[in-house]
Structure 1
Amino acid sequence: MGNINPSLLHIGSTVGAVFMALMVIFIRLKASARPVTIRKIWIPPLGMSTGFAMFVVPEVRFPLWWAALAFLVGWFIFAYPLIRSTKFEHKDGHVYAQRSKSFAFILLGLLLVRTLLHEVINRYVSVPQSGGLFFILAFGMIVHWRWFMYKRYTAMVPPQAPLPQPRT
């Protein structure tokens, strides 16, 4: 893959992951001051799905069963702490996400585990492939967490009455 030093890619991906974790913590703290909506629940995984374009590059590709395994690890293991720390509350006729004191620690813990796993996995696959695997792992985690949020939100919000139809 070009003339880029793999160790620089590794350092760059780690710094990028730390930056993203800090941004997520900051955004989540601000978001808890505004009501939750279905749109706010689903926009992050939809925006993240554009990352699948990385698999157009041949150096990033790997067997499909690796992708399935990474997705399932994200879905069943990495999403669990986020699901456990996400709670909603009714306030002023709206649904809000409760601030969780443990959320920042959970994200930093997940980042630490991800970094350690990255070290192990980089021994067996290339840096671009491990980036793709961890993207799929993160996508599985986010989709499961947001699916949980959506189910919890819809259970708390009564269905909207249909709009009256105009008389003809």
Structure 2
Amino acid sequence: MFHISTPFLQYGATFGMILIAISAIFIRMKTGHRPINAKKIIIPPLGMSTGFMMFVVPEIRVPWLWALGAFLIGWFIFSYPLIRSTKFELQDGKVYVQRSRAFFFILISLLIVRLLLHEFIQHYITIPQTAGLFFILAFGTLLHWRLRMYFQYREFVSS
């Protein structure tokens, strides 16, 4: 039977997460050239919410208090710089998200903080539980940021 060692799994998961995060950053940077609407703001958290199905697997489940803590850290701390750097502008009658020079550095900083936290936390809980907690943290971040974007967008459009 084939067995993957724990350190290999940890480094592989970390490397994979870094690749996905960097890809997401570059994709996000490219989407700034397209007009935005309410649907484009709301769909990402809805699509991400399907990831909660991972908690069907018992090895990924974490105590409710841990999950709440991860969600609140994402909601109050990690989303703040994203919310502060997101502004709208009108060009040719269409609404665009203003390109922020700080946006790339904010995403890279959040990635570094997340990696450091991940390295610390995975020493105390299993790798699948760590993944579950960081998913909840990311969901809290994305949900708060997109809700704020949606309300800012509605206000921008109505003014």
TM norm structure 2: 0.93
The 5-angstrom pairing of residues 18-167 of structure 1 reads 18-158=18-158
8 Å CA contact 1:88, 1:95 repeated in 2: yes
- In the alignment, structure 1 segments of 5+ residues that lack a partner are 160-168
8 Å CA contact 2:41, 2:150 repeated in 1: yes
- In the alignment, structure 2 segments of 5+ residues that lack a partner are none
User: Within 1, Cα distance between the matches of 2:151 and 2:27?
Assistant: 22
Q: Secondary structure at the match of 2:19?
A: helix
8 Å CA contact 1:88, 1:97 repeated in 2: yes
Q: Secondary structure at the match of 1:20?
A: helix
Aligned-residue identity in percent: 58
The CA deviation string for residues 61-106 of structure 1, in whole angstroms up to 9 with x for no partner, is 1111110000000000000111111111111111100111111111
8 Å CA contact 2:29, 2:104 repeated in 1: no
**After the TM superposition, which of the residue ranges 29-38 and 125-134 deviates more from structure 2?**
29-38
Residue in structure 1 matched with residue 8 of structure 2 by the alignment: 8
User: Within 2, Cα distance between the matches of 1:24 and 1:84?
Assistant: 19
8 Å CA contact 2:122, 2:130 repeated in 1: yes
Q: Secondary structure at the match of 1:106?
A: helix
The structure richer in helix per residue is 2
**After the TM superposition, which of the residue ranges 92-101 and 5-14 deviates more from structure 2?**
5-14
Q: Secondary structure at the match of 2:125?
A: coil
Q: Which amino acid aligns with 1:147?
A: L
Larger Rg: 1
Q: Secondary structure at the match of 2:11?
A: helix
The CA deviation string for residues 18-47 of structure 1, in whole angstroms up to 9 with x for no partner, is 122222222222211111111111111111
User: Within 1, Cα distance between the matches of 2:31 and 2:65?
Assistant: 36
**After the TM superposition, which of the residue ranges 132-141 and 37-46 deviates more from structure 2?**
37-46
